[in-house]
Amino acid sequence: MCLAIPLKVIDIPSEGMAQVETDGVTIEVSSILTPDIKKGEYVLVHAGFIIEKLATKEANSRLELFKEIYERKN
Amino acid sequence: MNFSKKSMKEKIKVIKNLISTEIQKQNISNINLMEVCGTHTMAIAKYAIKSMLPTNINIISGPGCPVCVTAATDIEMGIELASRSETIIATFGDMIKVPGRKKTLSEFGNVKIIYSPLDALALAQNTPNKEIVLLGIGFETTTPLIAATMLQAQKSALNNFSVLSMNKTVPAALEVILSSSDCKINGLLLPGHVSAVTGRNYFDFLSKFNAAGVISGFGPLEIMESIYLLVKMFSERKKEVINNHPQFVTEEGNQTAMKILFSVFEDADVDWRGIGIIPHSGLAIRKEFAQYDAKKKFKLHTTRIENPPHCLCGNILMGKARPNDCKLFGKACTPANPIGPCMVSSEGTCAAYYKYYL
């Protein structure tokens, strides 16, 4: 029920709306819950609305603990 | 970065070994972890997570499937509205097969399945001679969308649109489960998408109880990592709420969404399927929005309806029983002919057990 998917904002056609894209599929969704989104940002979409902006991958994608764990040899 | 060089399968193996080592090293005889969210229930079953864990880790399903926790009384109200000639019911798909006393919503021609609450609004605009009633189900992830849709209806001065609120919030139900005298839960796998809206700090209330929490994503690796963090906190006797979904979840969440939610809805005591009335666990439409409140608009009565006899959904939602404990499971109650809502919803615990474990 609380399914949500990450998508990229490719256009802001009008206030409160955003064109989002993944793998070449684009849809128009409401951005009323995230009024400050910008073109190029990644967002989480649930039932036709952006519910949150995503942190940039480089900055904040994993907990440091797990980065360290996966860097170990074994 | 080196860490990305390991494949997902290799990383899962690393975490699997860390979990086993921690259990052995700390001599943990038994640990009970509850996944709160229905999407986690399905993911755990689909990725066979339990088969990768030592047998002394018990994974128990919780109350996080919104359809499953919808009270029989609320289902009956939806059916009553569908029986009227002037209405069209707009709903997310899972609701239509939940049995009422005599019928299900799927038996009515005027029930439309929608993807977004905005589809219900479009329906109201396009069919001005009908009353469109949106069935408001969902937790903190979905309710801001419904609130935003109601604000849009107000802005467009639509007078043929209303919402039957069955919306609920997560914390009070968790408090009921964790404060029950026979609760054996040591840790909670917290919902990633609810947390994206509410923020990590929304779950700090858990420190009052004897349980740690980890906000988790829905992939197999993220779930395994989150289980590892819960086991580690258990052995270190820590009771923190860790955000293991940092790309999606911030400390504060989406405050705009939370403000919109609470501008339209207010805290209410509501009935949970099989659990009963839980104080401060639901959302009622504020009186300023009474014209969009289907309960008021259609003067719906709310006589409490009991759950079907022998159905264990209530205990299953509280983590006190497993589907196999229910006499009806897999016999009288199947996905094709469900009796309780845990079998109806694609994210219900019984549906997950039927599909993956039977």
> What ranges do the domains of chain B cover?
1-311, 313-356
User: What is the per-residue pLDDT across B287-317, written as a single tens digit (0 to 9) for each?
Assistant: 999 999 999 999 998 778 877 889 999 899 8
Please state, in angstroms and as integers, the Cα–Cα distance from residue B75 to each residue in B71, B134, B164, B233, B339, following that order: 7, 13, 10, 40, 13
Of chain B, the percentage scoring pLDDT greater than 90 comes to 84
Q: Select from 1.10.565.10, 3.30.70.240, 3.90.1150.10, 3.40.50.11740 the CATH code of B1-311.
A: 3.40.50.11740
Instruction: Please give the DSSP secondary-structure letter assigned to residue B175.
Output: H
Size of interface A-B (CB pairs under 8 A): 127
* Mean pLDDT along residues A15-39: 95
Confidence at B274, pLDDT banded by 50, 70, 90: confident
- Mean pLDDT across chain A: 88
CATH topology of domain A5-71: SH3 type barrels. (2.30.30)
pLDDT for the residue A64:
84
Confidence at A74, pLDDT banded by 50, 70, 90: low
The interaxial angle of helices B38-46 and B349-356, nearest 10 deg, is 10
User: What is the per-residue pLDDT across B152-184, written as a single tens digit (0 to 9) for each?
Assistant: 999 999 999 999 999 999 999 999 999 988 889
Confidence at B100, pLDDT banded by 50, 70, 90: confident
- Mean pLDDT across chain B: 94
Kindly state the helix (H) or strand (E) to which residue A49 belongs, with its residue range.
strand A49-53
Of chain A, the percentage scoring pLDDT greater than 90 comes to 61
Give, in degrees to the nearest 5, the angle at Cα B284 between B279 and B289: 155
pLDDT at B117 over 60: yes
**B291 compared with B358, residue with greater pLDDT:** B291
* Nearest in space to B246 (alpha carbons), one of A65, A63, A69: A63
* Mean pLDDT along residues A15-44: 95
* Mean pLDDT along residues B11-37: 95
Q: CB distance A48–B117 less than 8 Å?
A: yes
pLDDT at A19 over 70: yes
pLDDT at A59 over 60: no
CA distance to partner chain B, nearest, from residue A54 (Å): 5
* Mean pLDDT along residues B185-199: 97
The region of weakest confidence among B191-200, B217-226, B292-301, B314-323 is B314-323
pLDDT at B2 over 60: no
* Mean pLDDT along residues B243-255: 96
Query: Which DSSP string do the residues of B122-152 spell out, in sequence order?
Result: HHHHH-TTSEEEEEE---TTTHHHHHHHHHH
Kindly state the helix (H) or strand (E) to which residue B58 belongs, with its residue range.
strand B57-64
Q: CB distance B141–A32 less than 8 Å?
A: no
* Mean pLDDT along residues B315-324: 91
pLDDT for the residue A60:
60
* Nearest in space to B219 (alpha carbons), one of B42, B36, B66, B33: B42
> What ranges do the domains of chain A cover?
5-71
Q: CB distance A47–B225 less than 8 Å?
A: no
Q: How many CB atoms lie within 10 A of CB B99?
A: 22
pLDDT at B1 over 50: no
pLDDT at B3 over 80: no
* Mean pLDDT along residues B35-40: 94
Q: CB distance A51–B257 less than 8 Å?
A: yes
Judge whether B293 and B165 are in contact, CB under 8 Å.
yes
Q: How many CB atoms lie within 10 A of CB B127?
A: 12
Q: Which residues contact B109 (CB under 8 A, 6 or more apart)?
A: none
Query: Which of A46, A63, A68 lies nearest to residue B142, judging by beta carbons?
Result: A46
**B358 compared with B355, residue with greater pLDDT:** B355
* Mean pLDDT along residues B69-83: 93
Q: CB distance A2–B37 less than 8 Å?
A: yes
Q: What is the pTM (predicted TM-score) of this model?
A: 0.93
Pairing, β A17-22 against β A25-30: antiparallel
Instruction: Find the distance separating the first CA and the last CA of chain B, reported in whole Å.
Output: 42
Query: Which of B39, B247, B257 lies nearest to residue A33, judging by beta carbons?
Result: B257
Strand order in the sheet with B131-136: B111-113, B87-91, B131-136, B161-165
pLDDT at B190 over 50: yes
